Amino acid sequence: MIERLIQRASTVIEALPYIIKFHNKIIVIKYGGSAMLNPELKKQVLRDVVLLKYLGMHPVLVHGGGPEINKALKRSKIEIKFEQGLRVTTKEVMRVVEKVLGGKVNQDIVSLLKKNGGKAKGFYGKKGNVILARKQWLIDEHGKYFDIGYTGQVSGIRYRFLWKWMKMGYIPVLSPIGVGRGGKVYNINADSAAAAVAAHLEAEKLILLTDVRGVLGKDGKLISSVNAYKVRKLIKQGVISGGMIPKVKCGLHALRKGVKTAHIIDGKIPHCILLELFTDSGIGTMVV
């Protein structure tokens, strides 16, 4: 019994230098994947986010919600279509996105943070106008631009407005819905939105929760750290592929804009955020 308690104390002591280092720093967390869908994991992640706030850090959550959107679209018999990894967002789809991300997912997260002792404030689309956006165009194989509807990209972040809420003790929870000219709303890729939020807030860290351990090498083993040169090389070799490519690119974009480090970690691991932040070895891939 005493040995177990001593082990727990040792764990806390190991975390102390990191708690000191990250005190009063902004940690932007992109929250998605299984960590959002599994009720027990959801509870653990959000409890850990509340702990970060009580330890003197400023966590900001940017959440996804693709599976919930797809379910709602299927129920409404609306076509699900993607181009180059981005959702084609018609007016009908955009109404569903707003309803699911803003009306349900965002409010559920805020509610759970409050139940675990935190102060949380949800922002989505015109509620707060936090994420400013413009229409995103894609380029086909002939070099021509084509339209994918109300899919957007970040053009700005009301970071002073967010900082005001953080200083009042709140954890901001953002849906990746942006507002453009004329009050038009746009659906934005959650990883890109999180990277933009981290960049504008000059965050200490950007943490991307995924369903895999991080960047894996040819041998299937975790690569604990990558830089821009290594990322380009691994993409060329086909080692980094599929959905991992935009994640590492988002991480690099955030670093170029002033974020200190980006982390890609497995959201299925209990207390993954704490293990990545407060242990010497970490559990995922750090992009530097």
Contact 254, 198 (CB under 8 A): yes
Q: At residue 34, does pLDDT exceed 80?
A: no
Per the DSSP assignment, residues forming a β-bridge with 183 are none
3-state SS, residue 80: coil
End-to-end CA, the chain: 41
Instruction: Indicate the residue type of 90.
Output: T
Is residue 4 a part of any domain in this protein? no
Q: What number is the average pLDDT over the span 63-75?
A: 94
Quote the number of domains for the chain: 1
- Please give the residue that has the higher pLDDT: either 38 or 174: 174
- What is the residue range of 246's domain? 21-287
Q: At residue 284, does pLDDT exceed 80?
A: yes
pLDDT tens column, 188-212: 999 999 999 999 999 999 999 988 8
**Spatial CA neighbour of 158 closest among 166, 169, 146:** 166
Is residue 5 a part of any domain in this protein? no
The overall average pLDDT reported for the chain is: 93
Is residue 8 a part of any domain in this protein? no
Is residue 1 a part of any domain in this protein? no
Threshold 0.85, pTM exceeds: yes
Residues contacting 7, CB < 8 A, separation 6+: none
Is residue 49 a part of any domain in this protein? yes
Is residue 14 a part of any domain in this protein? no
Unique residue bearing structure tokens 């407005």: 161
Q: What number is the average pLDDT over the span 25-54?
A: 93
**Spatial CA neighbour of 133 closest among 200, 186, 197:** 186
Q: At residue 1, does pLDDT exceed 80?
A: no
**Per-residue H/E/C for 181-213:** HHHCEEECCHHHHHHHHHHHCCCCEEEEEECCC
pLDDT tens column, 100-157: 998 899 999 999 999 999 999 999 999 999 999 999 999 988 888 999 999 999 999 9
Neighbour-count burial for 262-279, b at 16+ CB within 10 Å, e otherwise: bbbbbbbbeebbbbbbbe
CA dihedral 11, 17, 20, 21 (to 10 degrees): -130
Looking at residue 244, what is its pLDDT? 86
288 falls in which pLDDT band (50, 70, 90)?
confident
Contact 132, 158 (CB under 8 A): yes
User: Going along 8-130, which residue ranges are E strands?
Assistant: 26-31, 58-63, 82-83, 86-87, 119-123
Looking at residue 11, what is its pLDDT? 80
β-pair type (205-210, 170-174): unpaired
Is residue 137 a part of any domain in this protein? yes
CA atoms of 184 and 182, how far apart (whole Å): 6
220 falls in which pLDDT band (50, 70, 90)?
confident
Is residue 3 a part of any domain in this protein? no
Unique residue bearing structure tokens 């919600």: 65
CATH code of 39's domain? 3.40.1160.10
Contact 205, 31 (CB under 8 A): no
Percent of the chain scored above 90 by pLDDT?
70
**Spatial CA neighbour of 207 closest among 72, 27, 56, 46:** 27
Looking at residue 280, what is its pLDDT? 82
Looking at residue 90, what is its pLDDT? 96
